[in-house]
Amino acid sequence: MENRQLVIIGAGPAGLTAAIYGRRAGLDTLVLERGLFGGAINSTADVENYPALKRTEGMALAKSLREHAEMFGPELRECGVESVSIGGNGKIIRTDKGDVSAEALIIATGTSFSRIGCKGEDRFAGRGVSYCAVCDGAFYEGASVVVVGGGNAAVEEAEYLTRFASKVHIVHRREEFRADVLVVERALANPKIEPVLGYTVDEIAGGDMVEQVVLKNVKTLETKTIPAEGVFIFIGMKPELGFLDGAPGIKRAQAGWIIADDKMETSEEGVFAAGDVREKFLRQIVTATADGAIAAMAAYEYVSNLHYLESALFGRPHAYALLISGIDPGHLAIVQAAEEWKKSSQTDLAIIDVYRAGRIKAKLGVSELPSVAEISGGRAVRTSRISSVGDVKGFMAEAPVR
């Protein structure tokens, strides 16, 4: 099986930034992408909220991100990820081009937006049809736009669009909004917002850009046309994580987003999440790149610690290790006593926190903590559950296996 230090799934802004930082840190880095490198920004006509770039085309930014990553030499591989298996002995990524084992894994697969499926939606994507008000709202200064959806996201984004547009129509198929009452009341108090309830979008039409939206009444099936220069669709979005169906250990929020800490690490050691796929407040290009940089440096720290532990325990002819969990207060008392004993007796004992190093724990064959292990010739020859530093002393006083 192919073995790599760092595997990144997804080559959008988060994944490519992670590749830059991962390679700069010296990690053997592989990026897997099933679609266009650069991600969803390839379908964005203009970007004007990315720092230092006053305005650029989405495809141009995507191309620049890829070229920047390629400068540092990660392998960029076009393939589909079918499943991920995570265990103490590593992370196995199964793709349509073979299996890959990773010491550290960054998931940066982004999101997909729910689509209406009406005539004209695909044709005008990036040319009047948008799925992000924060990204594209400023392009519609003084224009008339349509917002599709009835939940909190749709109503809140409609209110945001009134900063730019002269008129915002909120189209929803039901006779009342699904959004919270206070959210709806605040939005409808804005004179620029006009609700259009009981209608669906039948067609988005125009020439080179969107010019009008054809609506259909859900009861009478009668149609009417609204002049509009932009259509913002907010009927739902979801993280692209189908390949994680076989990896239930990664904790996810109710809507499916991956939960990660401030170092982008998930509930599984050595597995990180970056970009829009993560449970977070704001999903933008700049937040995705920041996530990618953090995730890569956290992955570097993880891999470095892993290699150090491998060397300290298995790269020596003989070693003893006290294995504890750093989050267990009872274990910390044993650690303190063990460190005092080491200092006073010059004992050669490695104290290893395996709370985030399950791979070491599995390699030693230890199932319970705290435990002590004797390693000889690169493998554990004895292990024992302990409850005090006295147990450690007794274990080490026994004649070593030769």
Q: Strand, coil or helix: what is 299?
A: helix
115, 119, 129, 225, 227 from 206: Cα distances, Å:
19, 11, 11, 12, 10
- From 118, 135, 291, 353, active-site residue: 135
DSSP string, 72-106: T--EEEE--EEEEEEETTEEEEEETTEEEEEEEEE
Sequence-distant (6+) residues with CB within 8 A of 228 are 143, 144, 145, 146, 169, 210, 211, 212, 213
- From 28, 46, 132, 328, active-site residue: 132
Residue 323 near residue 33 (C-beta atoms within 8 A): no
Q: Active-site residue 135, yes or no?
A: yes
Residue 183 near residue 153 (C-beta atoms within 8 A): no
- From 118, 136, 202, 291, active-site residue: 136
For residues 79-100, one letter each, b for 16 or more C-beta atoms within 10 angstroms of the residue's C-beta and e for the rest, the string is: eebeebebeeebbbbbbeeeeb
Q: Active-site residue 118, yes or no?
A: no
Whole-angstrom Cα Rg for the chain: 27
Alpha-carbon distance 128 to 153, whole Å? 19
Residue type, 381: V
Half-sphere CA count of 166, side-chain side, radius 13 A: 7
Q: Would you name the residues annotated as active-site residues?
A: 132, 135-136
